[in-house]
Structures are given as structure tokens and as C-alpha cells.
Amino acid sequence: MRILLLLTAFVAAQAQDGASGSNWPSYGGSSYFWRYSALDQINTANVKKLAPAWIFSTGDYVQGLQSTPVVVDGRMYLSTSRSQVFALDAATGRTIWQYKYPFPKSAGVNTQNRGVAVAQGKVFIGTYDDFLVAIDQKTGRELWKVATDDAAQCGCTITAAPLIANDKVIVGSSGGDRAFRGYLSAFNIKTGRLVWRFYTIPGPGEKGHETWKGDSWKFGGGAPWTTGSYDPALNMIYWGTGNAAADMYAGNRDPGGDAPNVNLYTGSILSLDADTGKLKWFYQVVPKDVWDYDAAFECVLVDHEFKGRMRKLLLQVHKGGYTFVLDRETGEFLNAFRIVDEETWVKGITEDGKLVGRNEPVPGKVVRVCPSAMGAKQWNHTSYSPRTSMLYIPVIELCADYTSVEQEAIEGASFGGGNFDFTQAIQQTAGKLAHIDGYDIATGKRMWSVPQRNIILASMLATAGDLLFTGDPLGNFFALNARTGEKLWSFQTGAGHRGSSISYMVNGRQYIATPTGMGGAVGTQISGLLEDGPMFRGGSTLVVFALPGDSK
């Protein structure tokens, strides 16, 4: 009985750590990246009454609104694609201040931004031209600004929200589809001084360097281009890395032999000491990636029973159509469960995590591969509910015809090593391009599945009201029953959904906020695949919902 009580207390404590409450204090809701709100004022019984409470237009319509708002003590902090930051009254939408970052001088600059971090009286943003900026949380005044790289030289940029770990703010960089060597950088929150930098590709003399052929490591990709997770109890950060470059051709980087890992640490999940940046463990999801299958997506940290014992789990949904389950203390592989209906890039994954029957692109030939390079899931995030023990996943059912081409690396230049054309998956049900699924994390069993007419590129949001929120490219924002998948409510916002909705509470009233406005490379790619026409709905507007006053 005592053991049962201790386990119950352990799970309850971690559930509190992973959930957000009145605030939505960080990009993933918490550093555990559950994207789960413990608020239940809005629930399955009253969600049909949900209505717009206020709307805010950023005025920055380039690349849509792909960010996640952060809410702390009644203030909301919102970033735009061109690195503008707004502080808003979270109850009314009134602008408190705006931080105006200089717009790019060239129209060809990659301007995407997915969010900010807030800590110790500062708001942090990574910019399109590779600066990390600290802004005074009260006034919007710039406090410090440091360069992380030369964007013109590396062809890289910062698109993700920073991560806070103790007294450090940590950022990754995009650029893995170019001739670029990825890295993570940690800066002192107070001063902006660089504390440590971890390169995702080992240099000469470092362990793992032997997994690269010749000098290919210098431009081998591995960009950690999304936001990581942090476990304060273990003082460990977890970050996924992107594809190896060139994306679809490995002839210049494969050292040969039968080593289990090739092109470290690309296509991998990394655990680093938060204070020093030293590697604690790694798990390479895809050795010698030739499909553009990033392992860069969010790492969901959950303490849960697994095969009869409590484990500190890490779950990551991979572009190849599997959810990988690891022990986050040791990096031990525990499970991989399949989420796609059609899969041809491998024949399967063994019980110890080995890929079986690789179907690789071949130079000079067209090879059909499922899922496509877009992935079975894009960067838009999953969510986890401790009430249901389910992970909620937006799944894409697309294949691609790959053509592999040998290519010389030129620093900072595009380095794809081929190209691909989308094709429909044979097993698409009734012409559906996607589905939203609820998976039991302990068993990998799919508990329910809801087919979608169009690809879902917005994140999932789970709440204690047993609701699951997301939106589609045509502007429909909707709520499902988190236990069954039944659609309970929908609202046409007027613009497509690519960002991440959140929930928070001010003065006793719960709100649901969703960014609207499609954008980004993937948003453009899917425009011809939409069932309702070859276009998506752009914009850059935050729509915030609440129950009418007499319904709370």
C-alpha cells in the first residue's frame, strides 16, 4: 500500500510540473512540452458556447503567424515572422508595448519565427538574421543583443523559440538543408554572454567524428531547428537534430562499414547537461538519413508506468511515421510505434530500435517513398493529457517520388542532393490526406482516429476539460473530445492555422487563443493538395475565445 501511495504522489507531482495553469509560461506550456492546460472551465459540456472574446492583428503578414503566445500574469507576449514582439493585455488584447525589429532589406530572407521565451523580467527572441535579443518585460526596451552567427555566410537563421534552463537561454538554428554544421548555443540570461556551444556534428578528435567521410562533417547539416525540452530535476535538456546534408545523397558523407551509427549526431535525440552543454547520451533515430527525415521535433517528457515499472519517458514523433519512446535518464530505447497507414522507407523497426529493409533513393532513378519528405508529422506539436494518458498526433498521409543527385557543398548554399514530388498514399481513406489520432503512451495502441479532409499543420492543445483543440489550413478552428475524438465545436477564423493555440486564465475567466495565417515552405507546398482548392488562407491574426459571462 505504501508503494502505491508513493507512486501516486510521484505521478501527481510530475503531472503538475508538466501542465500549465493560469499562465502559459513557455513555448511548450512547460519545459516538459506537454502542451496541456490544467484549466477545465471550458469543457465537453459547454464548449459549444465558446465565442470570440477579442482579436488582434499583428500587421506583419509575411509568412503568416506561426508562433505560440506566452502568457505570464495577465500579459501575453507574441512574436511575428519578421521578429516583431508585442506585449498585450491577455484579457482584452490591448497593446502594452511593441518591440520593433528592423525588417530585412532583402525579400529573399527566410523570415519565420515560432515564439519567444520569458524569464527573469526579460522576453527573449531569436531573429531571422541570427541575433538573440533580450527585451525588458515591462517596457519593451532592448536590454542586450548578441550575434549567434553570420546569416549571409552560414545560410542559417533562428526560427524557434528559445528555451530557458536555470540562468541560461538556449537557442538552436535552422539551415540543415544547406551546407551548414548545426549547433546549440547557451547564453547567460543577465548579460548575453556565451556560456557554451554544442556542435551537432563532431569535429576532428571528438567522439563520433569517424562517422563522417573526409571533410563532409564541415557542412553536414544536423540543425536543431525547433525548441527543446528541459527536466529541472535531472538538470538535463533534450533536443532533436535535423537531417544530414546533402539531404537525399549520402555518397560524399558515408564512411562505409557496418557501424550502427552513421553521420552523428544528425537525425538524433540528444541529452545535454544544462550547465555545461556536455553530451550525456544520444539516440540516433535515423543513421545515414537520405529521406530528409529530421528528428528535430519536440521531445515530450512524461513519468509513466511502462511494462510494469515507473519510467522517466521521452516521446518523439518522427517524420518517418513512428513515435519513439526512450528512457530519458539513460537514452535506452524502449519502444517505437507506427502512426502512418502507409510506410515504404523501411520494412519495420526491431524491438531494439534497428531499421529493417531501408528503401533509399538511388542516383539516376526515381524511387517512391512513404511518408514523403514533408514527414508523417511536421513541426507542429503533439499534446499529452495526464487525464487520458494519451499522446495526440496530427498525421500526414503523403508519399513522394525521390530523385537523388550528387552535389558539391558550397558553404551556406542549398544542399538538397536531389528533389522530390508529392504523390498520394495508396491507403488514403476516402481521399483523406491526414488524420488526428489519440495514442496510449504505455502501449502504443491507437485509441481513436479522426480522418481529415486536409493536412493539419497546427499544433494540438489538450485541456483538463477533456478537450483537444487544433485548426486546419482553410481557417477552421475546432475542438474534439479528447477521450473519443468526437468533434464538439468549430469556428471559421478566416485564415489558415499553422501556429500553436494555448489556454490561460485571467480574473477567473479561461481563454483559448489561436494564431491564424498560413505561411512557410510547407504551407506553400501543400497549397496544391488542399481538397477545397489550390490555395491556403494567409494572414497574421490572433483570435481569442472564451465562454459568455453567464456560462462560466
Task: State residue 5's pLDDT score.
Answer: 38
- Which pairing describes strands 268-273 and 279-284: parallel, antiparallel, or unpaired? antiparallel
Average pLDDT in the 450-464 region?
95
Task: State residue 535's pLDDT score.
Answer: 61
**Residue 529's pLDDT band (boundaries 50, 70, 90)?**
low
pLDDT in tens, 222-248: 999 999 999 999 999 999 999 999 999
Q: Report whether pLDDT(109) > 90.
A: no
pLDDT in tens, 190-218: 999 999 999 999 999 999 999 999 999 99
Does 543 fall in a domain? yes
Q: Which residues are marked as active site?
A: 292
- Does residue 68 come out as left (phi exceeding 0), alpha (psi in the -120 to 50 range) or beta? beta
Does 350 fall in a domain? no
CATH of the domain at 44: 2.140.10.10
Q: Report whether pLDDT(399) > 50.
A: yes
pLDDT in tens, 11-68: 344 445 899 999 999 999 999 999 999 999 999 999 999 999 999 999 999 889 999 9
Tally Cβ neighbours within 10 Å of residue 347: 11
pLDDT in tens, 335-357: 999 999 999 999 999 999 999 99
User: Alpha-carbon distance 549 to 327, whole Å?
Assistant: 45
The answer to whether residues 18 and 25 touch, using CB atoms and an 8 Å cutoff, is no
pLDDT in tens, 401-426: 999 999 999 999 999 999 998 887 66
Does 374 fall in a domain? no
Q: Report whether pLDDT(118) > 60.
A: yes
Task: State residue 502's pLDDT score.
Answer: 98
The answer to whether residues 515 and 492 touch, using CB atoms and an 8 Å cutoff, is no
CA angle 412, 528, 83 (to 5 degrees): 45
Structural domain range at position 12? 1-104+379-397+433-440+454-552
Does 551 fall in a domain? yes
Q: Report whether pLDDT(513) > 50.
A: yes
The answer to whether residues 493 and 417 touch, using CB atoms and an 8 Å cutoff, is no
Beta bridge partners of 448: 438
Does 513 fall in a domain? yes
Task: State residue 110's pLDDT score.
Answer: 79
Q: Report whether pLDDT(6) > 70.
A: no
The answer to whether residues 335 and 444 touch, using CB atoms and an 8 Å cutoff, is yes
The residue ranking higher by pLDDT, 439 or 174, is: 439
Tally of domains in the chain: 1
Average pLDDT in the 296-319 region?
97
Q: Report whether pLDDT(381) > 50.
A: yes
Task: State residue 2's pLDDT score.
Answer: 42
Does 489 fall in a domain? yes
How many whole angstroms from its chain centre is CA 77?
19
Task: State residue 175's pLDDT score.
Answer: 84
Portion of the chain with pLDDT greater than 90, in percent: 85
Tally Cβ neighbours within 10 Å of residue 274: 23
pLDDT in tens, 75-88: 999 999 999 999 99
Please, what is the end-to-end C-alpha distance for the chain in angstroms? 39
**Residue 431's pLDDT band (boundaries 50, 70, 90)?**
low
Look at the block and give the residue holding cell 532513378: 365
Q: Report whether pLDDT(164) > 70.
A: yes
Does 142 fall in a domain? no
**Residue 546's pLDDT band (boundaries 50, 70, 90)?**
very high
Query: In the predicted model, what is the mean pLDDT of the chain?
Result: 93
Q: Report whether pLDDT(454) > 90.
A: no
> In this structure, which amino acid lies at residue 112?
Q
Does 195 fall in a domain? no
